[in-house]
Chain A
């Protein structure tokens, strides 16, 4: 129903990759992080969740990935190729870029020659060719995030979960990585579930923006984003873009109060 006109994702695919039905999460200490969340992510979609800090956005991803089971409701994941990009790059400091990118394949027992090749391709995809032998401590924040992205790309994910991956980066790096992400989304054809607290990032990246309220987090509104892919960076300066951002911000404020 809210599938964006994308040149890659055939408009006919509506098969679902992730489905939450009335999901709730209460931590052992009694805090309710999420309540009554129902959400579907289909193939070809890039769904962004915005919400105030502490509204359980990240918990949503943890449930989707299986890191933490939900305490209530149904969670259905229809793929086992899940990429997960954390807030921090979580690179292993003793491994160089190449070897960090190979890690997930290595953990899955993929033979050395194959994983070397996959890693090389992923490194090329995120524009880090030439940095294979660099250790994480010699990389900038943006390059670390690229490495982290490349690492997840080696899994060839069908569903890609992003937990505020660019939150710690400066504006310029963030915008550049947003464009790279859009490029990857259109080329690699994964579905995305992206957490952020930046409204403009949410609108710019996604096919659908979901607005969550403060704790306990629940969905208060949903906005389809109809701009075509690959996105022109200049749409950020259009009136439609500004208006959509305004609507999302408004919904955020409403949900917060």
Chain B
């Protein structure tokens, strides 16, 4: 009964809705594609119209960059470096997430902890990490652990500040609801504050994910020991004036950043998107 009566009424608006959706999908894709084509055009113009042949290495044309990337030897080099950098970034990010969340939870539990620890989170954010990188090398060696540590230091602050903000943004009425049942501090944390903070935590993760990639590359760029990551590769290609390869590596590094950012955006949506609307804020 209900299917026959509801079918004609719902059937009509379905079609314009899909048309609208495909139109809006086109609307989201066309502008960035146009910008991309524009950038390519400007790039070619610079390479061939502005730079003379001797200085063309400063900006090799896009097709040479692509060709350099797919050169078997270079490709292997870049992909291996990409793998190592990704590992460092993900491990560093994992540490930054765990340390950041614990740090924020500790601060949320007592005002005096927050007062004692928050300034240091800010200091961590403010000191130029590059200044510390050599020191980290001294202390932890110039290999894997040092790279991860640089990564953590760069990626930590957004996790701390976002988690703390999330934990503290719980609606006072909801707090009182728990208070009326004499809920323990742990119960309030696990059943109220932490779930309420999840959207903010995921927002922090997305920012930290991008920073973790930066950290992994910076660490690698400085510590050029052990197996090369993207940072070492950038520095090697620069030194050898292999600009097409340099450009290819830069793009791969950029794509890695975007991919990790998108990955955490996706995970966040999967976990809290059902009840939280990210686009609203």
Give chain B residues whose Cβ lies under 8 Å from the Cβ of A104: 177, 181
Does A250 make an interface contact (CB < 8 A)? Answer: no
Give chain A residues whose Cβ lies under 8 Å from the Cβ of B178: 107
Beyond A84-B177, A86-B177, A107-B187, 13 extra complex contacts between A and B, CB < 8 Å? A66-B180, A84-B180, A86-B176, A87-B173, A90-B176, A93-B275, A93-B276, A94-B275, A94-B276, A103-B177, A107-B178, A107-B181, A135-B275
Interface string of B245-281 (1 = CB under 8 A from A): 0000000000000000000000000001011110000
Does B171 make an interface contact (CB < 8 A)? Answer: yes
A interface residue numbers (CB < 8 A to B): 65-67, 82, 84, 86-88, 90, 92-94, 103-104, 106-108, 135-137
Grouping DSSP codes into helix (H, G, I), strand (E, B) and loop, the B interface class, with mixed when no group exceeds half, is helix
Give chain B residues whose Cβ lies under 8 Å from the Cβ of A88: 171, 173
Show 21 A/B contacts (Cβ-Cβ < 8 Å), sorted by A: A66-B180, A67-B180, A82-B180, A86-B173, A86-B176, A87-B173, A88-B173, A90-B171, A90-B173, A90-B176, A92-B196, A94-B196, A94-B198, A103-B177, A103-B191, A104-B181, A106-B191, A108-B181, A135-B275, A136-B275, A137-B275
Asked if A135 contacts B274 (CB within 8 A), the reply is yes
Give Cα A87 to B174, complex, Å.
11
Closest to A87 in B: B173
Does B183 make an interface contact (CB < 8 A)? Answer: yes
**Contacts known (A107-B187, A135-B274, A135-B275); A92 close to B180, Cβ less than 8 A:** no
Asked if A90 contacts B174 (CB within 8 A), the reply is yes
Give chain A residues whose Cβ lies under 8 Å from the Cβ of B275: 93-94, 135-137
Grouping DSSP codes into helix (H, G, I), strand (E, B) and loop, the A interface class, with mixed when no group exceeds half, is loop
Interface residues in B34-82 (C-beta closer than 8 Å to A): none
> Which 8 A/B pairs are nearest by Cβ-Cβ distance?
A107-B181, A90-B173, A94-B275, A93-B275, A86-B173, A90-B174, A107-B183, A94-B195
Give Cα A92 to B196, complex, Å.
8
Asked if B274 contacts A92 (CB within 8 A), the reply is no
Give Cα A121 to B275, complex, Å.
25
Does B192 make an interface contact (CB < 8 A)? Answer: yes
Give Cα A65 to B173, complex, Å.
14
Give Cα A136 to B276, complex, Å.
11
Asked if A92 contacts B176 (CB within 8 A), the reply is no
Closest to B178 in A: A107
Does B179 make an interface contact (CB < 8 A)? Answer: yes
Closest to A88 in B: B173
Give chain A residues whose Cβ lies under 8 Å from the Cβ of B180: 65-67, 82, 84
Interface size on B, residues (CB 8 A): 21
Closest beta carbon of chain B to A10's beta carbon, Å: 29
Give Cα A67 to B191, complex, Å.
20
Closest to A67 in B: B176
Closest beta carbon of chain B to A92's beta carbon, Å: 7
Give chain A residues whose Cβ lies under 8 Å from the Cβ of B192: 92
Give Cα A104 to B192, complex, Å.
12
Give Cα A66 to B181, complex, Å.
11
Interface residues in B178-203 (C-beta closer than 8 Å to A): 178-181, 183, 187, 191-192, 195-196, 198
Give chain B residues whose Cβ lies under 8 Å from the Cβ of A86: 173, 176-177
Closest beta carbon of chain A to B16's beta carbon, Å: 24
Closest to B176 in A: A67
Chain A CB within 10 A, most for which of B177, B179, B187, B272: B177
Give chain A residues whose Cβ lies under 8 Å from the Cβ of B171: 88, 90
Give Cα A107 to B179, complex, Å.
10
Give Cα A107 to B272, complex, Å.
23
Give chain A residues whose Cβ lies under 8 Å from the Cβ of B196: 92, 94
Asked if B174 contacts A92 (CB within 8 A), the reply is yes
Closest to B198 in A: A94
Asked if B195 contacts A90 (CB within 8 A), the reply is no
Asked if A94 contacts B272 (CB within 8 A), the reply is yes
Give chain B residues whose Cβ lies under 8 Å from the Cβ of A65: 180
Closest to A151 in B: B177
Asked if A90 contacts B276 (CB within 8 A), the reply is no
Give chain A residues whose Cβ lies under 8 Å from the Cβ of B191: 103, 106-107
Closest to A65 in B: B180
Give Cα A92 to B171, complex, Å.
10
Give Cα A65 to B176, complex, Å.
10
Closest to B175 in A: A90
Closest beta carbon of chain B to A58's beta carbon, Å: 11
Give Cα A137 to B177, complex, Å.
19
Give chain B residues whose Cβ lies under 8 Å from the Cβ of A137: 275, 277
